[in-house]
Amino acid sequence: MMIQCQQVSKSYYKGSTVVTPLQALDLEVPKGEFLALMGPSGSGKTTLLNLLSGIDSPTSGSLIIAGANISTLKQRELTAWRAKHVGYIFQLYHLVPVLTAFENVELPLLLSGLSKAERRERVHTALKLVGLADRHDHTPAELSGGQEQRVAIARAIVADPPLLVADEPTGDLDRDSATRILELLRELGTEQSKTIVMVTHDARAAAAADRTLHLEKGQLLENLQTT
Amino acid sequence: MLPLSYAIRNLLRSKSRLAQTVGGSALVVLLVMAAVAINQGMSRVLSASGSPNNVILLGTGSEESVQRSEVSENTTGIASASIPGIQEILGVRAVSGEIHFMNYISSDDGSRAQALIRGVSPAILHVHPEVRLTQGRFPAAGEVMVGRLAWRNLGLKQDRLKIGTSITLNDQTLRVVGRFAAPGTVMESEIWAAIGDIRVVAQRETISCVVIRLEDPEDFSEVDLFAKQRLDLELSALRESDYYGRLSEFFSPLRAMIWITVSLIALGAVFGGIHTLYAAFASRVREMGTLQAIGFGRTTLLLSLLQESTLACLTGTLLASTLAMLLLDGLTVPFSIGTFSIEINSTVALIGILSGLLLGIIGVIPPAIRCLKPALPTALRS
């Protein structure tokens, strides 16, 4: 099992009010599954995604990802864990504007201790996989939205993490680009056995996943098998 | 660690911000370098002006100012005959009676300036062996010789004090017949005339002081003993180096003012820089969040932001150092008792570099902390 959430809750203070975006949530995701999370705004989708990717820590409960209980890790340990285990794909790509596509993809590898030659090889492979082998030297400003998202996907997979999390990866793309991105994510799941958790509002995007879960008010509503 | 190229390219994101940071730090570093060089120059000229071998006999109660001092004219002969350990040059004991007189002089073109005039005899060359006659000859009655930097101290054009010109002092016209150098001392800013002429002009029957050059600085006690024993002469003995040391202390409020001014300007520049960086980093909170999400720690990111800031400030330092070398190095600065030259030496350069580094570090820490402080989910949403 890649992901095991047991009674995971998350609450925080907003002024003097306690907000609980996730409440006693149980979830299991097997290795290699492509899971879509849907739900209205404020349902806790992004909070869950942040917890699964080690960007945030749960207030209570146990969160075991790739065999490690990350709910007990300290901030510094969590940062190091993220570098090895998670690739994050953002809705607005979040590429570093002053770096080229090659340099953006190379970023996670700077933490890996690989040699320059090894890094070059892996970046080249990742960019080739997302169909942008000819865009090494382009800065984000010189790429289309779809191309930027593909660079972001290359950045997410270049360090070969077992888990990919995607926060509305097609939310800012036109239909054709969105289709290509979803195909790419599916390929990564099937061909490279990546476990993918994707938050989306788009039912068409969710249809590309193996399974779709609906969240509302911090709790899972239903469990639909889509494939 | 993020590559240095990331820091460099971030610097180039906004040319106007870069220019502001580089320009601001250059201004501060230039001011710091100027302040250090001015302080050094003033201290250097005052300490070089006082030889440890020389002792000044001043009138009791006038130890702070040789110009106010009054010493009986026969003190020169009595001191020469009574004090052991005086240096002899070609059989002549190095004892010089002098009148130090501050007054306005007029040059040929009518320009007036306040000058330090020293009434001297040739014996002055025995007590100040660093004095070199560079042009002309020693003055006789009705003549003067001028220090190499006197024109600068008086705010005159250099040719107004060249040999053959005249100056007017209290209606007495004195012809310039010589020029002298005494590198690094206040004497270079003075005008020297025959002691008899100055006695008349200053309308005094006494002299200001007697300068004695000792073989060994340790013999100061002999001069001190002489001053204490000859109560009739009302003398006080001071090492020349101590006299100029006290003068240096007299100028310490001026030096403090220079530092206060520089500090205030630097503080303004630092706050300006911090403000600029707050604005610049505010737009990068999400980028910092993304890098943290990828796996870069906050310390690594702080170091990268520090790199950016110190790079900009060191560029400013380089600019400031170049300007200092071009505009300040060798510049002569007049002050009340002399002229000193500004020297951009290794100490000044080192202090400039350290100031630049400090600016880079101090300026970046508050905005960097603010940029890196938000919780990661908040940073990614920003």
What tokens appear for B188 in the block? Answer: 């270079």
On whether the CB atoms of residues B334 and B326 are closer than 8 A, the answer is no
Whether B297 has its CB under 8 Å from any CB of chain A: the answer is yes
According to DSSP, residue B343 is labeled -
pLDDT at B210: 96
Is B6–A76 a contact, with Cβ atoms under 8 angstroms apart?
Answer: no
Indicate yes or no: CB of B2 within 8 angstroms of CB of A50: no
The tokens for B381 are: 């949403």
Q: Which residues of B touch A82 (CB under 8 A)?
A: 293-295
Distance from CA of A106 to the nearest CA of B (A): 11
Q: Does B303 touch chain A (CB under 8 A)?
A: no
Q: In this predicted structure, what is the pLDDT of residue B218?
A: 93
Alpha-carbon dihedral sign for residues B219, B224, B227, B230: negative
**Which tokens is A164 given?**
């990919």
Query: Along the 382 residues of chain B, how does pLDDT read in single tens digits?
Result: 788 888 899 888 888 889 988 998 999 899 999 999 998 988 888 887 888 899 999 999 888 888 889 999 999 999 999 999 999 988 899 999 999 998 999 988 888 888 899 999 999 999 999 999 999 999 999 999 999 989 888 888 888 888 999 999 988 999 999 999 998 888 998 999 999 999 999 888 999 999 999 999 999 999 999 999 999 999 999 999 998 888 888 888 888 898 898 889 888 888 888 888 888 888 889 999 999 999 999 999 999 999 999 999 999 999 999 999 999 998 888 877 778 889 999 999 999 999 999 989 988 888 898 899 999 999 998 8
Exposure string of B211-248, with b = 16+ CB inside 10 Å and e = fewer, is bbbbeeeebbebbbebbeebeebbbbbbbbbbbbbebb
How many Cα neighbours within 13 Å face the side chain of A6?
7
Three-state SS letters, B243-300: HHHHHHHHCHHHHHHHHHHHHHHHHHHHHHHHHHHHHHHHCCHHHHHHHHHHCCCHHH
Residue A108 pLDDT > 70, yes or no? Answer: yes
Nearest chain B residue to A51 by CA distance is B377
* CB-closest option in A55, A96, A110 to B293: A55
* Whole-number pLDDT of residue A222: 60
Q: How far is A56 from chain B (nearest CA, A)?
A: 7
At B92, phi and psi to the nearest 5? -105, 130
Tell me which chain A residues have a C-beta less than 8 angstroms from the C-beta of B287: 94, 96-97
Residue A213 confidence (pLDDT): 93
- The size of chain B, in residues, is 382
In angstroms, the Cα distances linking B326 to A32, A79, B23, B322 are: 68, 50, 17, 6
Question: Does the structure show a pLDDT above 60 at A223?
Answer: no
pLDDT at A227: 46
For the domain with range A32-55+85-225, which CATH number is right: 3.40.50.300, 3.40.50.2300, 3.40.190.10, 3.30.1280.10?
3.40.50.300
Work out whether strand B92-93 and strand B338-341 pair parallel, antiparallel, or are unpaired.
unpaired
| Cβ-based neighbours of A75, under 8 Å, separated by 6 or more | none
* Amino acid code (one letter) for B259: W
**B284: nearest CA in chain A?**
A96
For A180, the token pair is 């290509």
Q: Find tokens 């980028």 and name the residue.
A: B287
Give residue A47's Cα distance to chain centre.
12
B304 at interface of A, judged by CB pairs closer than 8 A: no
Q: Which amino acid is at A147?
A: Q
| Chain-chain contact of B13 with A50 (C-beta, under 8 angstroms) | no
Closest among B261, B253, B243, B266 to B356, alpha carbons compared: B266
Q: Which two tokens stand for residue A49?
A: 């995604």
A76·B290 Cβ contact <8 A: no
* Mean of pLDDT values over A93-99: 93
* pLDDT the model gives residue A224: 47
Quote the CA–CA distance of B279 and B67 in Å, as a whole number.
Answer: 58
A107/B291 touch (CB, cutoff 8 Å), yes or no:
yes
CB contact under 8 A, A84 and B13: no
pLDDT of residue B216: 93
At which residue do the structure tokens 């250059």 appear? B26
Alpha helices in chain B (DSSP H): 4-11, 15-49, 75-82, 124-127, 150-154, 195-202, 220-229, 240-250, 252-282, 285-294, 298-323, 346-372, 376-381
Whether the predicted pLDDT of A14 surpasses 90:
no
- Interface membership of B302 toward A (CB under 8 Å): no
Q: Specify the length of chain A in residues.
A: 227
Contacts of B291 in chain A (CB under 8 A): 96, 107
The residue type at A45: K
Residue A218: predicted pLDDT? 86
What chain A residue is nearest to B3 in terms of C-alpha separation?
Answer: A110
Contacts of A111 in chain B (CB under 8 A): 294-296
Mark yes or no for CB contact B293/A83 under 8 Å. no
